[in-house]
Amino acid sequence: MTGPLGIVAVMRNSAIAVSGLRKGYGDKVVLDGIDFDVAAGSVFSMLGPNGAGKTTTVNVLTTLMKADGGTVHVAGHDVVTATKEVRSLIGVTGQFAAVDELLTGRENLQLMADLKRVRSADRVVARLLERFDLVKSADKAASTYSGGMRRKLDLAMTLVGNPQIIFLDEPTTGLDPRSRRTMWEIVRDLVADGTTIFLTTQYLEEADQLADRIAVLDQGRIVAQGTPEELKRQIPGTHVRLRFTDLFELDAAAQVLAGATRDDQELTLRVPSDGGSRSLRALLDRLDDHMISAEEFSVHTPDLDDVFFALTGHTSTEAIAK
């Protein structure tokens, strides 16, 4: 779209717009010119190992830190010139929780409601305690909470005042699988309500589960961006798996489909493919032409671990160990 109306439409749709963002500490370049756009109402995940620059990005986007170069707009506001507006629209949950351990869950939420000058604070606090399943522990000191409960309380505190855009910096690092799943459910609920989520994570599965778009950050640069499916499709390894009813059919198919790998025990053929609809149709047509029918047909795409390795030359855990 062109013209002023087009521009307005684009801006309205973009919750976060980052262009040429650079940041270093002394001589060390941490963000080496990164660009991305987050659509309103979506989950955008920045995926990268320890030290990739995720927290630095969150700090700049949430006005806590000044960039060395580039521009950042949050809900259409420049983070440098409209800091106050940006702060009033966002919520941030960092790696170091804002929870005061000496206060109870309820008191922590009340404190936040006072800070944000929220009306009907008691009602807001009660609702959040319920939503996060913290009613029973509401009047116990946060120091007695488990890691998962503390994260939930931290996130509940972030939601006081209904921010439009929420930044979650590694929200599930160190959590057990059950608490992690609870956090995922909460994120999904928030998005269903129209909230925009910027989420950093080192967990490939987490990005895969939650994100509409993923940016892979490695050593200060975005090495890939796209939907989880797009990222997986970018790398070799996608294949079609065909299962046949007997060896006779398998033999016939193996002769027709050059380059396929057969497994006689499983009665399957693995055929390299980009997984696109055109090549799938061509493959099925070819089998049809030879009157071969497959009992089962499935497309397998590599997971994000494969993607990370293909893009960066190291696995995410190798990089973490660096």
Ligand X SMILES: Nc1ncnc2c1ncn2[C@@H]1O[C@H](COP(=O)(O)OP(=O)(O)OP(=O)(O)O)[C@@H](O)[C@H]1O
Residues in contact with ligand X by CB under 6 A are 25, 28, 30, 48, 50-56, 170
Q: Which C-beta is closer to ligand X: that of 179 or that of 202?
A: 202
Instruction: Give the nearer residue to ligand X in terms of CB position, either 57 or 110.
Output: 57
- Shortest separation between residue 230's beta carbon and ligand X, angstroms: 23
Could you give the CA distance from residue 268 to residue 294 in angstroms, rounded to a whole number? 9
Q: How far is CA 231 from the centre of its chain?
A: 13
Of 27 and 285, CB closest to ligand X: 27
> Is the Cβ of residue 170 or residue 208 nearer to ligand X in the bound state?
170
Alpha carbons 167 and 59: distance in angstroms, whole number = 10
- Closest distance of CB 256 from ligand X, Å: 49
In sequence order, what are the residues at sequence separation of 6 or more whose Cβ sits closer than 8 angstroms to the Cβ of residue 12?
Answer: 40, 76
- CA 56 to CA 68: how far, in whole Å? 12
User: Shortest Cβ distance from residue 94 to ligand X (Å)?
Assistant: 10
The answer to whether the beta carbons of residues 123 and 106 sit under 8 Å apart is: no
Nearest-angstrom CA–CA distance, 3 and 16: 21
Closer CB to ligand X, 200 or 268, in the complex: 200
Distance of closest approach, residue 25 Cβ to ligand X, in angstroms: 3
Q: CB of 23: closest distance to ligand X in angstroms? A: 9
188/209 Cα distance (integer angstroms): 10
**DSSP assignment string, 152-178:** HHHHHHHHTT--SEEEEESTTTT--HH
